[in-house]
Structure 1
């Protein structure tokens, strides 16, 4: 095992961990009636065998399954053992509750860990956090979150940082003053976010300096302040962000003023669907992006750096084959770059279904497969007026029940090992709109 010791964090969590309250032995996992292979290791049951999730996780060995019965577990869990699976028997009734006093619901410092079919809520920091070591070159390798609900956490919902080879799928995030889903500081990231739903957050997805073999696909982003925001910034290593694919998403109605907000800078872009800020060679394709009032799909510079540093410029991004309709502010498609005399800098737009753009005739100004124009207009700064100040993340209404993982009681343990991140972008379909 290659366990990483973070003694101060572990001691803090263990000092405040409480016995699980309100637990019962019921299960809604069900059975398919088919023969399933046995789990790869032992099954450690909470609370039948261990009174807390933390106690079971500490006892687990690689390949083991920590299986949690319904109940509200008032603890923060730290994972330092590789290749284990943590699974709830009922996604909506296995709840790790931070009570607005603990930092993270589950914090994972080990490779190959999968978290499945449970809810993480009411933490001051993050719901589920996969992270490498801040002070060394350790990059967490192998992570998976499946059928996880994260809501009303004080920073991110499901958060991967300094990590690679990961999958976030079939999950939900709401009520976060940053983003519901975040992958940051990785190159290559080798990761997929798929079949997720984000609503009522400042940002649905955010990813700072996350690049290469990274896919955000087949998901819905609605009623956030902004839908999807890959970005380049100085606050994390590995800038600039780049080489990401955003495809097959339904991104709509991200104009919500009643969301929590922790960053006034993003209020300048409230009401935007997809916005690439200072990114390089990203592909935005086959998305349906509708009803985001300020702008539907935007490619812009990131100017907010220390004095004397040039903006992170957007370079070589491709926006191809999307539906972008219903913006009433800047435009359905937007390209805004620094006045550097470099023209469109390889950014291009083609085969999109749209009505308005900035600059006008954007697919002629910045075409794919041909040189673009040199003289880009400056954006009307009046159109960047601050959005609403937001609300307290603790006050966002809890979500309705979310779909359970099939056969949670009987499915074999499947740690996040030997993941292959390979997406056929050509096979991704443009999603349907509202019925």
Structure 2
């Protein structure tokens, strides 16, 4: 009981921006021209990385408005290895960590000549250290290089590709990850907006709150490679104009996605199993040590994910356009009380995933949880044990192909079944494939199930474009094709609300006294 109370206190303090050692912590200030004014005093740093380097465990780094072209490490704009560090901007819209070249014409410029592509960098990267807060700032235009390294705007990295959990709890509040740059002839693109991998602490919950990400060629939000140890919540986040709104490769256990908006992506929310370096597979939403579903997608607004013209490359470029919530080869997830509407293919679809990608040579992935030998060219992940209930759906399936509609279930013989019940269409009859899905795959959820491994499976492949365009004349070719990438404007990212009080929980310093701004604090 005491351990649970401590964990709850830590999580609550994280949301309020309060550290357990705030009274003893140092506060380091960052502003563009130290000594130039009362709001930019001498002794402040002009670089976020410089202040981070000076900070110790539990210290605070406060950042005044400015366009910071950070190059703190060869592969990151700001590189953080100190535990329990608080990095907070004083204004979300105007504290910008900018991946473009210094001297460019304004923050987050979209001009090709103004991108810094010589070395693939991430924006802010926290490397294998626990207890960090990143809050109230915007990161943009950090791009991958031609080998795919870099391109993650904000990344908590617990050891990418290791197959191990190398980081504990983390918190990200009122943060934005976006890019304005895309060139179809240029392989150097932004990959992930807000990215968490190989991180999680079973005793201390993490969270991402009031965050926004857009224009990513992989996913706007990613929490993955955390097995059944993720122990995190995404709350009141917004993802748009990306290949995937949310991707959760091999992520499960106590993981909640709630009260958030997912729109104008190819696919909205996509937990998934893959035999890759986000190891080990599968995506298992069960509570640790059980077959009771714990990973929960609840209370979200998932709409208009019909956009073939997002950035996209690699496997995410084959996401089926027009899908609100897609459970791809995952197991024991709950999809409950969401509002899912105006998705042209399927509101919610569950399907197996045949993974043909080459696993890493390190051996961290070997088809765990799949049908297929470790040396086989195919790992077949069977979606099973998922519960889809009490969702409000309407105007899904507008592409008009035969299996399109509110709900779809492809796995032929999942055991236990993917269980559908109490879902409803608020504008008319519920449309499902197979027909009468909530009768044939309803409660009790412990029984084996059935699905449509014929037409629905064919349409999923067709919609993905993995093997070219859909065959004409077969009634399944009404899926939109890419006609040229269109980026969400930076003004949308820049308009996200700031933290109500950036001095909340901050030890007294030149900008904050008693938890409130001083007269000289930057706005």
Give the TM-score of the pair, scaled to structure 1. 0.81
RMSD of equivalent CA atoms: 2.2
Confirm or deny that 1:157 pairs with 2:197.
Answer: no
The whole-number CA distance in structure 1 between the counterparts of 2:316 and 2:47 is 40
Q: Deviations over 1:317-336 (max 9, x none)?
A: 00010012222242210100
Aligned length: 373
Going from structure 1 to structure 2, the CA distance change for 1:227 and 1:39 (only over 3 Å counts) comes to farther
- Give SS of 1:129's match: strand
Q: Deviations over 1:122-141 (max 9, x none)?
A: 01111100011247645111
Deviation at 1:304, TM superposition (A): 2.7
Q: 1:213 aligns with which of 247, 254, 266?
A: 254
**Structure 1 residue aligned with 2:132:** 113
The whole-number CA distance in structure 1 between the counterparts of 2:136 and 2:316 is 34
Q: Deviations over 1:105-146 (max 9, x none)?
A: 100012111000000000111110001124764511111110
Going from structure 1 to structure 2, the CA distance change for 1:107 and 1:390 (only over 3 Å counts) comes to farther
The whole-number CA distance in structure 2 between the counterparts of 1:274 and 1:312 is 18
The whole-number CA distance in structure 1 between the counterparts of 2:279 and 2:214 is 27
Going from structure 1 to structure 2, the CA distance change for 1:230 and 1:266 (only over 3 Å counts) comes to farther
Q: 2:431 aligns with which of 350, 353, 356?
A: 356
Confirm or deny that 1:184 pairs with 2:197.
Answer: no
Q: 2:57 aligns with which of 49, 53, 62?
A: 62
The whole-number CA distance in structure 2 between the counterparts of 1:80 and 1:143 is 13
The whole-number CA distance in structure 1 between the counterparts of 2:134 and 2:316 is 33
Confirm or deny that 1:280 pairs with 2:331.
Answer: yes
Confirm or deny that 1:43 pairs with 2:27.
Answer: yes
- Give SS of 2:53's match: helix
Q: Deviations over 1:208-241 (max 9, x none)?
A: 0001001111111111111100000011212110
Instruction: For 1:258-407, list aligned pairs within 5 A.
Output: 258-263=309-314, 266-305=317-356, 308-328=377-397, 329=401, 330-337=404-411, 339=412, 342=413, 345-354=416-425, 355-369=430-444, 371=447, 374=450, 376-380=452-456, 381-382=458-459, 384-385=462-463, 386=465, 387-389=480-482, 391=484, 395-398=487-490, 399=492, 400-407=494-501
Going from structure 1 to structure 2, the CA distance change for 1:71 and 1:282 (only over 3 Å counts) comes to same
The whole-number CA distance in structure 2 between the counterparts of 1:268 and 1:70 is 38
User: Which entry has the higher C-alpha Rg, 1 or 2?
Assistant: 2
**Structure 2 residue aligned with 1:126:** 152
Instruction: For 1:21-100, list aligned pairs within 5 A.
Output: 40-47=24-31, 48=34, 49-75=44-70, 76-99=77-100, 100=115
Deviation at 1:264, TM superposition (A): 5.3
Larger relative contact order (CA 8 Å, sep ≥ 6): 1
For the 8 Å contact 2:355–2:378, the answer to whether it is kept is no
- Give SS of 1:212's match: coil
- Give SS of 2:308's match: coil
**Contiguous gaps of at least 5 residues in structure 2:** 1-20, 35-43, 71-76, 101-114, 144-150, 180-188, 286-294, 358-375, 466-479, 508-523
For the 8 Å contact 2:65–2:90, the answer to whether it is kept is yes
Of the structure 1 ranges 72-81 and 45-54, higher mean CA displacement relative to structure 2 is found in: 45-54
Going from structure 1 to structure 2, the CA distance change for 1:296 and 1:60 (only over 3 Å counts) comes to same
Give the TM-score of the pair, scaled to structure 2. 0.68
Confirm or deny that 1:222 pairs with 2:273.
Answer: no
For the 8 Å contact 2:153–2:192, the answer to whether it is kept is yes
- Give SS of 1:364's match: helix
The whole-number CA distance in structure 2 between the counterparts of 1:43 and 1:255 is 46
Going from structure 1 to structure 2, the CA distance change for 1:320 and 1:56 (only over 3 Å counts) comes to same
Going from structure 1 to structure 2, the CA distance change for 1:343 and 1:170 (only over 3 Å counts) comes to closer
For the 8 Å contact 1:61–1:81, the answer to whether it is kept is yes
**Structure 2 residue aligned with 1:7:** none
| Larger proportion of strand | 1
